[in-house]
Amino acid sequence: MGRKEEEGDRARSPRTSPQKAKSQTAAESGGHPRERRRAATPDEDDDLGHSGPQILVEDGGKRRPFMRGIMIHSLMARGVSFEEADRVATQVRARLRGRRVVSKPEIVSEIRKILGDAPFESERHLPAPVDIAIQGKGQGQPFSKGVLSQSLLAAAIDPNDAFDVAREIERDLVRRRIRELHRSELRSLAFEALTRRMGEQAAERYMVWRQHQRHDRPVILLLGGAAGVGKTSLALEVAHRLAIGRVLSSDSVRQIMRIMLSPELAPAIHGSSYDAYKLFPAEALGDDPVIEGFVAQTATVSVGIRASMDRAVAENTSLIVDGVSVVPGLIDPAAYGELAHVVFLVVATLDPEAYATRFATRAEEQARRPAHRYLENLDSILRIQDHLLDAAERHGVPIVDNENFDRAVLLIIRHVTETLRKREPRIASSPS
C-alpha cells in the first residue's frame, strides 16, 4: 500500500477520543477497569506472581492467605536451608492450587510427604518467644534475653557469662509463669543472679551503671594512646557493651580542622602524629623534633576535642573519644566538674614486638594503611608512647596495657564503673 493510500485511510477513519477509547477497551474486556479489579479479588496473584484462586489457610478458627514466604521462614527456623525451604514451599503451593481453603494440618501433612519427620523433630528450630511484658516508663516492652544479656555487660564480665545469666533469669521467669514484671524487679533479679554466679563486685558494677542511666550527667570516656595501640577497637567494643551511642576519633577531628586551617596557618595538623615535625623548618624545632611536632599537633586538635565534649555535655549524651591527640594535661577532666563524668585512660602496648605484629595485622585488615608506613616510623611512635606514659604519670591518669584485647575491654569498663561509684555517692550499689 502506498503512502497516499495510508493517509487516505486515516482521513476516512473517525477519530476516537482518549476517554472513548478507554470506555471501549473496558467494554471489550468485560466492564470498567475498576469493576474488573473488584471482580479479580477472589483470584489475586500469589506472592510470586502466579495467578489463580487465592488459597486461605484455616488455623484456630481464623483464615489467612497462604504465603510461601511464611512457610520458608518457618522451615528455616526448624533447620531447613533456604534453598530447600524455597523448593518445598513451591511444591506445596503447586499441590494445593485449585483449593479455596486448606487447614494447617493438611499443609503440615504435605510438608511431611516431601521432607519426612526430621524438621518437626529437630531441636535446631528457633526458641519460642517468651510472653513477658517489662513495665517501666511509658509503654511496656517485651522481655528480651538478648537485651538483658547486653545490659549485663556493664558488670565487666565475659559476653558468654552475661548470656548464661540472662538465660537463667528467663528460665526462672518462665518456671514461675511470670507474665508482667517491672523494670526495677528485673534489675533486682539480675543483681541477685550476678551475685550468685559472678560475685558481689560484678553485681555492684552492673547496678552502678544501670542506676547511672537515670542521672543527668553524661559519661565521657577519653582513650589516649600512640598510633596502633588499638584505641579505636577498644572504644568501639566498650561503646557496644555499655550501649554508648557516640564514638569519636581524634583523627576525624584533625581531618575536619585540616579543611578549615591551611598548612601555612597550622602546619602540624597536616601530617601524622609521628612525622608532624617534618612540616616545620629544622631551625624551628629543638632537641626532640618528633615530640615537639607531636605536641604542636595535639595542642591544636585538642581544641576540637574539647568542643565535642562540650557538645556532649549540652545534649547530656555519653561519648567516647579515642585518639593520639587525647593527651593528659591538654584536656583537664576537672574542668567539667559537675557537668559530666570524665574518665581518662591511656592505652599502651608495652611490648615492642607486639606493636610491630599489630601493625602487620592492621595492614591485612585495612588495605589503605600499609604496615611499612608504621614500621618505618616505629621508633618515633614508641617515643610518642613514652611521652604519653610520662604525661599519664604526671597527671594521675591510669594506663591500660592492651596486651590482651578482651582483658583490656573489661578493665576499661571497670574503670568507668568504679569512677561512677566514687564520684556519685547517691548512686547505690544495691537494687534497693
Q: Is residue 101 part of a domain?
A: yes
CA dist., res. 44 & res. 209, Å (int) = 55
Which of 12-26, 183-197, 395-409 has the weakest average pLDDT? Answer: 12-26
pLDDT digits (tens, 9 = 90+) for 257-270: 999 999 999 999 99
Helix%, strand%, coil% for the chain, nearest 5 = 60, 10, 30
Q: Is residue 29 part of a domain?
A: no
**238 and 144 within one domain:** no
Question: Can you give the pLDDT at residue 231?
Answer: 95
**279 and 206 within one domain:** no
**151 and 205 within one domain:** yes
Which domain does 103 fall in, by range? Answer: 39-126
pLDDT at 166 over 90: yes
**295 and 183 within one domain:** no
Q: Is residue 327 part of a domain?
A: yes
Final residue of a structural domain among 158, 190, 211: 211
Q: Is residue 395 part of a domain?
A: yes
CA dist., res. 297 & res. 324, Å (int) = 10
CA dist., res. 336 & res. 338, Å (int) = 6
Question: Can you give the pLDDT at residue 36?
Answer: 41
Q: Which residue has the cell 582483658?
A: 407
Q: How much is the mean pLDDT over the chain?
A: 83
**198 and 105 within one domain:** no
**137 and 92 within one domain:** no
DSSP state of 331: B
- Per-residue pLDDT band at 13 (split at 50, 70, 90): very low
Q: Is residue 413 part of a domain?
A: no
Q: Is residue 411 part of a domain?
A: no
**308 and 331 within one domain:** yes
Which of 422, 421, 408 is closest to 225 using CA atoms? 408
Final residue of a structural domain among 102, 126, 150: 126
Q: Number of helices and strands (H, E) in the chain?
A: 18, 11
What DSSP string runs through 264-318?
TT-GGGGS-TTTGGGGS-GGG--S-HHHHHHHHHHHHHHHHHHHHHHHHHHHT--
**90 and 186 within one domain:** no
**331 and 308 within one domain:** yes
What DSSP string runs through 132-201?
-EEE-SSS-EE--HHHHHHHHGGG---HHHHHHHHHHHHHHHHHTT--EEEHHHHHHHHHHHHHHHH-HH
pLDDT digits (tens, 9 = 90+) for 112-152: 999 888 877 754 445 556 788 888 776 678 888 999 999 99
How does strand 219-224 pair with strand 319-323?
Answer: parallel
Q: Is residue 253 part of a domain?
A: yes
**Cα–Cα separations (whole angstroms), residue 50 to 44, 45, 72, 190:** 9, 5, 17, 52
Question: Can you give the pLDDT at residue 382?
Answer: 93
Domain count, the chain: 3
pLDDT digits (tens, 9 = 90+) for 365-406: 555 556 667 888 889 999 999 999 999 999 999 999 998 999
How does strand 133-135 pair with strand 56-59?
Answer: unpaired
pTM above 0.85, yes or no: no
Final residue of a structural domain among 179, 211, 243: 211
Residue 89 has a CB neighbour count (10 Å cut-off) of 25
